[in-house]
Amino acid sequence: MPALHAAGVEPFQWPNRSQFGLLVVNGLLAIAYYGGFMIALALTSPLFAAVGVMLTIPIMAVVDMIIQRQVLPWNVFVGGAAILVGFCILSFAEYRDTVRKSLLRRPPNAS
């Protein structure tokens, strides 16, 4: 960046107060996002965490629709529903696997 500024290709300008505030908010949201992802990795499997990250796509589509008051095409909703259904299927499979493993570890009845 300094080289591009010195060459006159891309002039650098410090952000004003409101832009700086937005940059700080963006940084804090990024820390929360990646912190949550690391916690999800620690508590679940990498596959579950990665598929969970894909849920941000339909969530952001809905947020954009609300904030920008724009009508989204039908394929956005179909894609978001497919991601949501896939996440639910994966959640159920992980739950079923956890229950099965806990039943296998249970000692037999002493009767």
Q: Where are the domains of the chain?
A: 14-43, 45-111
Reported confidence tier of residue 15, pLDDT bands at 50, 70, 90: very high
Residue 48 pLDDT: 87
Reported confidence tier of residue 110, pLDDT bands at 50, 70, 90: low
Q: Which has the closest alpha carbon to 58: 92, 32, 86?
A: 86
Residue 80 pLDDT: 92
The answer to whether residues 51 and 87 touch, using CB atoms and an 8 Å cutoff, is yes
For residue range 71-97, what is the model confidence (pLDDT) as tens digits? Answer: 889 999 999 999 999 999 999 998 898
Rg (CA), the chain: 23
Q: What is the mean pLDDT of residues 33-43?
A: 92
Residue 105 pLDDT: 80
| Burial group, residue 44, by CB count within 10 angstroms (0-12, 13-18, 19+) | middle
Residue 6 pLDDT: 87
pTM of the model: 0.64
b (16+ CB within 10 A) / e for 70-90: eeeeeebeeebeebeeebeeb
